[in-house]
Chain A
Amino acid sequence: MQDLWIIICVGLMGISCSILGCFLILRKMGMLTDAIAHSILPGIVIAYLISESKNNFIILLVATIFGVLTAFLTTWINRRLPNRGDTATGITFTFLFAVGIILVTLFAEQADIDQECVLFGEMLYIPFDTLDFFPEIPRAFPLGLCVFLCVLIFIKKAYRPLWMITFDENYALSVGISVSLWHYLLVSLVSMVTVASFELVGSVLVVALFVIPPATAYLVSNNLKKMIKLSTVFGLISVILGYYISVIFGGSSAASIVITETLIFLCVLIFSKLTKNNFNYVK
């Protein structure tokens, strides 16, 4: 039963990430995900400090605000450093993350977080060596379900505008779609999913959940709908396989899931290379 709960909860997160990830990697926002995953840290600490208990709603809200702040700051700095979007992203997230680390170390007693757990996940009372028991599972379930439903509804309702701003931003603008509105909506949803998965897998590994399954699907699909479906499948398989691998071989399950995702990615990559007509791979 323990195992089942873990798989259901992490699986829900994995699927949510996989779906959103498709739009993220197509919009070249892969590293923005990394940035958001780092910069929501001060938000989480602040939410802990003001709510004292683990109030999911407050954490989600504050962290989402910080996610949007990240995207906003990045854009703002980018306007001052033309053509250097990556530098802007780097400056923003290291700043917010550093603030977060200082807050964590200053208020470690009150907030009950410590700096290692921020990176490794299971930050809520669960030291990472007893990972395999997840005493918090039932609590994470409604959160996961809620986030998953949000993502599902958002994608169903907003599929067309999202597709348009992903495929051709200028055209979308010309027909009156607010690119920045949808961009920030996407960013806030990403922040929500990140913060919800954060405690399960940690700030760096959540990036893998967002990026690797869609990237795998991208290799073998030629339209967005198919890519989303495949990405979901890859995400779910990796979660299940990765978790059982960690049960058998030990080690961190979050890390096992990411390693499994990467292995699947490599298999699909090799498969797609073998089946396609190889010519001359030069960029």
Chain B
Amino acid sequence: MINFWYVLAGGVLLAIATAIVGVWLVLRKEALTGDVVAHGVLPGVGMAFMLYGVKDMMILSVGAAISGFLSLYAMHTLERHTKLKKDTIMAIILSFFFALGLWILVKIQASGNSGVSGLESFLFGKAASILPKDILFSLISVLLVVFINLFSKRWLFYTTFDTLYSKSVGIRTDLANHLLTFMCILTIVAGLQSVGVVLMSAMLLTPAGIALFLSKKIKRQNLNTLFILSIFLNISVVIGGTSLSYLYPKTPTGPWIVVVCSLLALGLFTIKNKKSNS
């Protein structure tokens, strides 16, 4: 039962960070950027393992963060230098980085390193394997994200809402983008172990999407409402999903959290719609 509390604590911490970052991603119409980063970390995980040969969370996380950043950098470079549409560029980067990661993983597997067997937990998450020191890592990441968000809310608000105006009064929009990128990568790396790369974007997007929808319905459209709603929803969903996954011990935790969250989203979307029609 102690393990259950660990998992829950880790999950709740992660929920706070993803909810905050998710709101910004949704507001900036960069919802799928999270998905790109989540796939983009894979080559880094593989490389870090290849270089050090041990499955140490710290080392793998550093690798993940570096390659996550590279994937975003590559995305922005292509955006600036080609006339391709954004979603095309995202699909290119996402599949290329994933292919690279996969190629490295297969290479490692062929080399017969015995430690490789745990690496797939990065893909779907294995919340059950969370240790106290992982929670410490999550705690630091969450505190950092919350702190940055409090500190630079106006910065992100201005640059997101009206980029041209922000530039015209001399606000560094590029730095704001980097800041968000940093928060995004920090959150995704922190969540790698419990949710996994593939479903990471659900924890970022779905609560933020619901929050945006609800805030409009209750006519309280401001940033703080969005953050509070999104955090609250995400925490409840994590508690629900984690409990459910304990009923089916064979299944990974991440997908359960996502399913609970999505069903909640679909439910809320329908009910509200019927009301507005009547």
Closest beta carbon of chain A to B94's beta carbon, Å? 7
Q: How many residues of B contact A (CB 8 A)?
A: 63
Most B-side CB within 10 Å, residue of A25, A76, A269: A25
Cβ–Cβ contact A259 & B94, under 8 A: no
- Whether, in the assembled complex, B164 has its beta carbon less than 8 Å from a beta carbon of chain A, the answer is no
User: Inside 8 A of A282's CB, which chain B residues have their CB?
Assistant: 80
Closest beta carbon of chain B to A40's beta carbon, Å? 14
Instruction: Tell me the interface secondary structure of chain A in the complex.
Output: helix
- Whether, in the assembled complex, B208 has its beta carbon less than 8 Å from a beta carbon of chain A, the answer is yes
Cβ–Cβ contact A87 & B26, under 8 A: yes
User: Inside 8 A of A223's CB, which chain B residues have their CB?
Assistant: none
Contacts A34-B91, A91-B202, A281-B81; A116 near B99 (Cβ below 8 A): no
User: Inside 8 A of A256's CB, which chain B residues have their CB?
Assistant: 99, 103
User: Inside 8 A of B106's CB, which chain A residues have their CB?
Assistant: 120, 128-129, 131, 251-252, 255
User: Inside 8 A of A115's CB, which chain B residues have their CB?
Assistant: 120, 123-124, 252
User: Inside 8 A of A265's CB, which chain B residues have their CB?
Assistant: 92
Cβ–Cβ contact A204 & B95, under 8 A: yes
Cβ–Cβ contact B88 & A258, under 8 A: no
Cβ–Cβ contact A255 & B103, under 8 A: yes
- Whether, in the assembled complex, B13 has its beta carbon less than 8 Å from a beta carbon of chain A, the answer is no
Cβ–Cβ contact A262 & B102, under 8 A: no
Tell me which of A80, A90, A102, A283 contacts B35 (CB under 8 A): A90
Among B153-161, B220-228, B255-263, the stretch that binds chain A is B255-263
Cβ–Cβ contact A207 & B81, under 8 A: no
Closest beta carbon of chain A to B99's beta carbon, Å? 4
- Whether, in the assembled complex, B47 has its beta carbon less than 8 Å from a beta carbon of chain A, the answer is no
Cβ–Cβ contact A30 & B90, under 8 A: yes
Among A45-53, A93-101, A133-141, A170-178, the stretch that binds chain B is A93-101
Bound-state Cα–Cα, A227 to B201, Å: 33
Closest beta carbon of chain A to B237's beta carbon, Å? 12
Tell me which of B212, B251, B263 contacts A106 (CB under 8 A): B251
Contacts A84-B209, A101-B255, A115-B123; A258 near B99 (Cβ below 8 A): yes
Cβ–Cβ contact A259 & B110, under 8 A: no
Bound-state Cα–Cα, A208 to B201, Å: 19
Cβ–Cβ contact A34 & B35, under 8 A: yes
Bound-state Cα–Cα, A54 to B124, Å: 26
Bound-state Cα–Cα, A218 to B100, Å: 24
Most A-side CB within 10 Å, residue of B79, B80, B256, B262: B262
User: Inside 8 A of B82's CB, which chain A residues have their CB?
Assistant: 219, 269
Cβ–Cβ contact B94 & A207, under 8 A: yes
User: Inside 8 A of B99's CB, which chain A residues have their CB?
Assistant: 204-205, 208, 252, 254-256, 258-259, 262
- Whether, in the assembled complex, A119 has its beta carbon less than 8 Å from a beta carbon of chain B, the answer is yes
16 residue pairs A–B, Cβ–Cβ below 8 Å: A31-B90, A77-B269, A83-B29, A87-B29, A87-B212, A89-B32, A91-B262, A98-B259, A102-B259, A105-B250, A115-B123, A115-B252, A128-B109, A207-B95, A258-B99, A269-B82
* Other contacts beyond A87-B212, A219-B84: 17, CB < 8 A: A25-B84, A77-B265, A80-B269, A83-B29, A84-B26, A94-B262, A97-B255, A98-B256, A105-B252, A115-B120, A129-B110, A204-B99, A205-B95, A211-B91, A252-B106, A256-B103, A258-B99
**Ranked 8 nearest A-B pairs via Cβ:** A94-B202, A95-B262, A208-B95, A258-B99, A98-B258, A255-B103, A98-B255, A30-B87
